[in-house]
Structure 1
Amino acid sequence: MAEERQGTAEEAAPGGEGESPHADPERRAPDPARVWEALVATARRTVTDGLVVGTSGNVSARVGDLVLVTPTGVPYDRLTPDDITGVDLTGRQVLGTLVPTSELPLHLAVYRTTGARAVVHTHAVHATAVSTLVPELPAVHYMAGALGGTVRVAAYATYGTEELAENMLRALAGRSGCLLRNHGTVTYGDTLDQAYDRTAQLEWMCRLWLTASSVPGLTPSLLTEAQLAEAGARLKGYGQRR
Structure 2
Amino acid sequence: MVEERRDQRGGRDAREGAQEVGEAWGRSARPEEVEAWEALVATARRTVSEGLVVGTSGNVSVRVGDTVLVTPSGVPYDRLSPDDVTGVDLAGDRVLGSLVPTSELPMHLAIYRATDAGAVVHTHAVHATAVSTLVPELPLIHYMAAALGGPVRVAPYATYGTPELAENMLRALTDRTACLLQNHGTIAYGMGLDQAYDRTAQLEWMCRVWLTASSVPGLAPTLLSEGQVAEVGERLRGYGQR
TM bucket normalised to smaller? 0.7 to 0.9
Distance 2:41 2:50 in 1: 14
Measured against aligned partners, the alpha-carbon deviations of 1:73-117 in whole angstroms (never above 9, x if no partner) come to: 000000011211100000000000111000000000000000000
Q: How does 1:151-170 map to 2 (within 5 A)?
A: 151-170=152-171
Q: Aligned residue for 1:134?
A: 135
Distance 2:31 2:118 in 1: 12
- 1:204 positional shift: 0.3
Distance 2:233 2:122 in 1: 22
Measured against aligned partners, the alpha-carbon deviations of 1:13-64 in whole angstroms (never above 9, x if no partner) come to: xxxxxxxxxxxxxxxx971110000000000000000000000000000011
Measured against aligned partners, the alpha-carbon deviations of 1:156-181 in whole angstroms (never above 9, x if no partner) come to: 00000000000000000000000000
Q: How does 1:1-16 map to 2 (within 5 A)?
A: none
Q: TM-score, normalised by structure 1?
A: 0.87
- Is the CA contact (8 Å cut-off) linking 1:67 and 1:87 kept in structure 2? yes
Answering whether residue 236 of structure 2 is matched by residue 235 of structure 1, we say yes
Q: Aligned residue for 1:207?
A: 208
Q: How does 1:90-239 map to 2 (within 5 A)?
A: 90-239=91-240
- 1:240 positional shift: 1.9
- Is the CA contact (8 Å cut-off) linking 1:59 and 1:70 kept in structure 2? yes
Cα root mean square deviation, aligned: 1.0
Measured against aligned partners, the alpha-carbon deviations of 1:197-236 in whole angstroms (never above 9, x if no partner) come to: 0000000000000000010111111111111111122222
Distance 2:230 2:138 in 1: 16
Task: Specify which structure has the bigger relative contact order, considering alpha-carbon pairs within 8 angstroms and separated by 6 or more residues.
Answer: 1
- Identical-pair percentage: 78
- Listed as ranges, the gaps of 5+ residues in structure 1 are 1-28
Distance 1:74 1:56 in 2: 10
SS at match of 2:219: coil
- Is the CA contact (8 Å cut-off) linking 1:30 and 1:63 kept in structure 2? no
SS at match of 1:31: helix
Q: TM-score, normalised by structure 2?
A: 0.87
- 1:237 positional shift: 2.2
1:169 maps to a residue whose letter is: L
Distance 2:233 2:68 in 1: 29
Q: Aligned residue for 2:8?
A: none
Q: Aligned residue for 2:41?
A: 40
Superposed structure 1 runs of 4+ greater than 4 Å apart: none
Distance 1:52 1:237 in 2: 33
Q: Aligned residue for 1:4?
A: none
2:36 maps to a residue whose letter is: V
SS at match of 1:126: helix
Larger fraction in helix? 2
Distance 1:39 1:202 in 2: 20
